[in-house]
Amino acid sequence: MRALVYQGPEKLAIEEVEVPGIQPHEIRVKVESVGICGSELEGYLGHSSVRVPPLVMGHEFCGRVDAMGDQVSGLSLADKVIVNPLIACRTCASCLRGETNICRNRRIIGIHRPGAFADYVSVPYENAIRVPQEMDASLASLAEPLAVAIHAVKLGCRPLDDLLIYGAGPIGLLCASAALQMGAGSVVVLDLQPARLAHATRLGAVGLSPRQIEDRRDDLFPDGIPVIIDCVGIQATREQAMNLVDPGGSVIMVGLGHGTSELPMNHLVRQEISLIGSYTYAHEDFRQAVELLRQGKVAIEGWTEGRPLEQGPEAFEELAGGKSRFAKIFLKP
């Protein structure tokens, strides 16, 4: 079968590899659509210590069941499925608290085992969720990043809270969509790329550059900014977020742009600002993401694009260099 193999920083190639086998508790999925994630762009650039070449990445995907192990139940051949790529042990203290996203023994498809930038991928059957046959595969593939967004919004926002979001990439746009679905007040999204800000506006948010927010803060947030979600994660966004958020407010850290940042910690203490890390999602977040997609509550038109798997290297190069007018590209094996 064909696979897009990460061979090292900025090196991707289509290779012929063996079709994956399956264990008794696994299914093999014929991939129909797989999204390129921002974390995979970091891996592509050599900035991710957990993505070790050679590796087949790809963890946002939808496809059809092609083969099943003899311990699989509840699924049938040709079922269309979305796969939760986070494999939790279900026995550690975190899992027993329901916090499977911070499982001490977690493994992730596309990091610790081959992912879906390929014709086929094998996964534990318990991580597969059946979806309607007629559901668009690319829309279904948004379940994973949408779950990330839902988890972040739930960590910091209450209904009717106003919200500021850094980054109009896929996670930022999905955070805006999730927040609006969950009853947020005003939602403002900051980004440097005008095309991405236009996507945010179409979704119902206000799109601005980070330079504009200082001048328009009182106009857009007359009662202050109670919650900020940083989907970029660099020094500049983290520092500005801490200076903009209300006393007693929360900054939800999602983006992993910089490994370390120097922050105004005395300001944090004096203003009782909460910094909250948000990593992936719990099972309930993923289930809610699937349900929102089933109901047609999230749109992919205008800010996403589909391409053949063979164009993967070019797609990664464009996204990493900020050259694509689309926030999300799906590859279709």
Q: Read off the pLDDT of residues 28-57 as tens digits, 9 standing for 90 and up.
A: 999 999 999 999 999 999 988 889 999 999
**Domain ranges across the chain:** 2-142+300-332, 149-277
Within 10 angstroms of residue 133's Cβ, the number of other Cβ atoms is 9
The tens digit of pLDDT for each residue in 129-151 reads: 999 999 999 999 999 999 999 99
Predicted confidence at residue 259, as pLDDT, reads 86
The tens digit of pLDDT for each residue in 93-111 reads: 999 998 999 999 999 999 9
Percent of the chain residues past pLDDT 70, beyond the cut: 100
> In the structure encoding, which two tokens stand for residue 326, read together?
């689309």
Would you say residue 152 has pLDDT above 90?
Answer: yes
CATH assignment of 149-277, given 3.40.50.720, 3.30.1300.10, 3.40.50.740, 3.40.50.880? Answer: 3.40.50.720
Would you say residue 216 has pLDDT above 90?
Answer: yes
The tens digit of pLDDT for each residue in 59-76 reads: 999 999 999 999 999 999
Predicted confidence at residue 57, as pLDDT, reads 98
The DSSP bridge partners found for residue 83 are: 128
- Looking at residue 122, the DSSP 8-state letter turns out to be E
Report, in angstroms and rounded to the nearest whole number, the Rg of the chain calculated over CA atoms. 20
Would you say residue 322 has pLDDT above 90?
Answer: no
Percent of the chain residues past pLDDT 90, beyond the cut: 91
2-142+300-332 topology per CATH: Quinone Oxidoreductase; Chain A, domain 1 (3.90.180)
Its sign, for the CA torsion 286, 292, 296, 299, is negative
- Looking at residue 283, the DSSP 8-state letter turns out to be H
pLDDT tier at 257 (50, 70, 90 boundaries)?
Answer: confident
Q: Name the helix (H) or strand (E) containing 138.
A: helix 137-141
pLDDT tier at 301 (50, 70, 90 boundaries)?
Answer: confident
Predicted confidence at residue 49, as pLDDT, reads 83
Distance CA 19, CA 125 (A): 17
- 213 neighbors 191 (Cβ within 8 angstroms): no
The pTM assigned to this predicted structure is 0.94
Alpha carbons within 13 A on the beta-carbon side of 104: 7
Q: Which residue has the higher pLDDT, 2 or 302?
A: 2
Of the listed ranges 97-101, 123-127, 235-239, the least confidently predicted one is 97-101
Would you say residue 277 has pLDDT above 90?
Answer: yes
Predicted confidence at residue 325, as pLDDT, reads 87
Predicted confidence at residue 48, as pLDDT, reads 84
Predicted confidence at residue 309, as pLDDT, reads 98
Average pLDDT over every residue of 261-278 = 96
The tens digit of pLDDT for each residue in 187-200 reads: 999 999 998 999 99
pLDDT tier at 214 (50, 70, 90 boundaries)?
Answer: confident
